[in-house]
Structure formats: structure tokens, C-alpha cells
A = this chain, B = another copy of it.
């Protein structure tokens, strides 16, 4: 079960720069604007958390424990000061032999973001902040609002005025203050609200993406869980926006190798919408991070104009690559997931879309496609209705026959 108090048996010892791992900081206060020492005018470098890996108990990964959320992995996470909601522990659903979907819609607020926000809200609590502020028009904002509410903290969400109707209700559901503001104003306002109101920022505030130093650590548990069921897969396909999920999964597998539990890491395939794709552009141009114009796409959750260095590291260190997926390709993958009983938002289908764009037989062994979130969150949901049918038998029969059913 998950309890109302957090747990503190973390082996986290310090923060360090992803720009230069020799640049270290104390664990507290959490770095919420990346690494100030290594960041330049052009590129902000994120920070990460380091652990006393030599103190991880023997057999730690072998234990079969009941599902208890992040607590299961507390030693390798930042201190879990905020109470949990049973985040993580999501199933691997087989799509066909050797192809698995990691269904992240099974989290407390029905997206992967809960793994991150258990960590960021814990950071806010540890930092003594009265609440959190987050720029998000979706999963991140609602998830932060839920964990903040559970921890007794306030939450302010800077949202896009064009957020889909059901998502708008979702953002407000946990008592957050939701402020729809133009997209360009969100990051500067996050910083100003953080500074003036003392709220802890749990999303990005820098020119290229850095986010919160503790957040991506929560995604390592995706790797731990996949490994517990499948070992090291032949590849992991990850819907990619700012690259935090990608990085966290990569770091989790890298830790398993470092601790001698496995001897290799899977290639991580970053799956971005073709309408944007700043990570693909950064990799192409050999840059740590870059900016692109974002065209029209329905994949709102991962349609980002800037990337962060985490994405480049994750692809490079895993021997992976990045892929750009058209909306047509994303819709086909979304439809395939629905036919398999999983209703995913368009962004969430990017992992499977990536796999379906690869040559058949390219991977020797099981592959995992992460599906990040539920279909309730998509654009257009709630905007059209089913057409009523008169209850007379002939009308009903005609509709069923038109749908291809035979009487």
C-alpha cells in the first residue's frame, strides 16, 4: 500500500552537471534551472542526481515486492519526502510475440509524468516551498497538481489557452490554480512566480530544456520494471518531447549495468513528431540542444520547439537513434493500440509508430514501446457525439448491418 508519509532511505548524495560530471553540487537545494556553472548563452545543461552506488544492497533488484510505487526503488531515487499514490508498476502488454507496450496510462493521473512528479514534489517539500509552479497544458500539470494536493502543497499551472476541454477539467480537478497564458509567456512567468511567490518550479525555465534535477530520476523505474519482466530488451521506443523520459529510462538501464545486474543497455529510440523534432535536429547538427519551428501536429504532448542535452546523451550512450514520425504514422499506431484494447493519446502512440517505421526483423529479441498516456487527454475528445438511433428494430438493424455485422 502507499502511505500518507514519504520515505527517506535514499542513497542520493549529490547533484552534478550533465555538461561536465566533475561539476558537483550538494543534494539540496534542488537545481531547477540546470547547472549554472556549465551552461552557456546558447545551451543550458541539465543537472542529475548521483548516488552511493556502492551501498546498494546485494540482490536489490531480485526482490519480488508487492506494488508500492516508487518506495520499491527508494534507495536509487531522490528522497521521497512527499507521499505517493502508487505511481509506476505499470503492465507490459504483449501486442504480438516479442512486441510489448509499457502502458503508462495506468499511473495515478494516467500518464508517465507521475513517476517524475513524485520526485519533484518531494523536492518542493524538502526545499520548504509552500507549493509548486508548472508550465504545462496536460499530463505534467495535472500530475504535479495531484502530488502537490496529496502533500498539502499549493499548485499553479500555466496552461495553453487551447488546452482540450477534458484536459482543462483534469488540470483543475486537484485544486490547482490554472492560468491559461500565451505559450511564449509560460517559461518567463514560471520563473517570476517562483521568485515572487516562493513556489518551487517543477518544469523548465531555461532557453534550452533543463527542467528539474530530480524529475527524470523517477523515470529510471520504467527501466527497472522492464528489466524485471523481460531482462534487457532489443530496443526501447520512447515518445520524446524534451527527452526526460528517454534520459531516465537510459539512466535506469545504465545503473543496472553499472551494478552488475546486466551486461548491456538497450538502444533507445527517440520518437518525435515530424512537425517538430528538436532532438533529431540537435543530433543531426552535432549540438547538445537546439531549437526548431514546430508545424501543425496533433501530438501536442511531445510537440516541442527546443530540446535538452538529456536527449542527446540518452541516444548516444545507448547506441540508439532518433526518429521523426508523421501524424499519419502516429494515427496508425494509435489505431493499432486501440484495436489491442489500449486507448492512447496521439503523442503516446509515438513509440509504437517508431517501431512500425523500422524494418521488420531489425531487432533481435523483444522490443518495448512506451505508451505514455490515455486517450482522454487528446485534442478533439468531447467535441463530437455519437449519432442517436431510433429504438425501432429496423433502424437498429440497419445501423448494425452498415457497420458490417450480419444477422
> Does A56 sit at the interface, judged by CB under 8 A?
no
Q: Name the residue of chain B whose CB is nearest to the CB of A4.
A: B94
Q: B388 touching A230 by the CB < 8 A rule? A: no
Which B residues touch A69, using CB under 8 A?
Answer: 91
Chain B nearest CB: distance from A336 CB in Å? 11
With contacts A159-B386, A170-B376 taken as known, whether A403 is within 8 angstroms of B338 at the C-beta atoms is: no
Chain A interface residue count, CB cutoff 8 Å, equals 101
Which B residues touch A163, using CB under 8 A?
Answer: 386
Measured CA separation A111–B64 after assembly (Å): 26
Q: B106 touching A374 by the CB < 8 A rule? A: no
With contacts A66-B64, A338-B175, A389-B180 taken as known, whether A109 is within 8 angstroms of B229 at the C-beta atoms is: no
Chain B nearest CB: distance from A354 CB in Å? 20
Q: B149 touching A85 by the CB < 8 A rule? A: no
Which B residues touch A228, using CB under 8 A?
Answer: 66
Contact indicator per residue, chain A 162-203, by CB within 8 Å of chain B (1) or not (0)? 011110111111110111111001000100110011110000
Interface centre among A68, A106, A150, A173 (most CB of B within 10 A): A173
Which B residues touch A3, using CB under 8 A?
Answer: 94
**Which residue in B343, B374, B380, B399 is a CB contact (below 8 Å) of A174?**
B343
Q: B192 touching A393 by the CB < 8 A rule? A: yes
> Does A340 sit at the interface, judged by CB under 8 A?
yes
**Which residue in B130, B385, B390 is a CB contact (below 8 Å) of A168?**
B385
Which B residues touch A173, using CB under 8 A?
Answer: 338, 343, 375
Q: B383 touching A165 by the CB < 8 A rule? A: yes
Q: B165 touching A385 by the CB < 8 A rule? A: yes
Question: Nearest 9 CB-CB pairs, A to B?
Answer: A86-B91, A165-B382, A150-B341, A382-B382, A185-B391, A1-B92, A146-B341, A173-B343, A180-B388
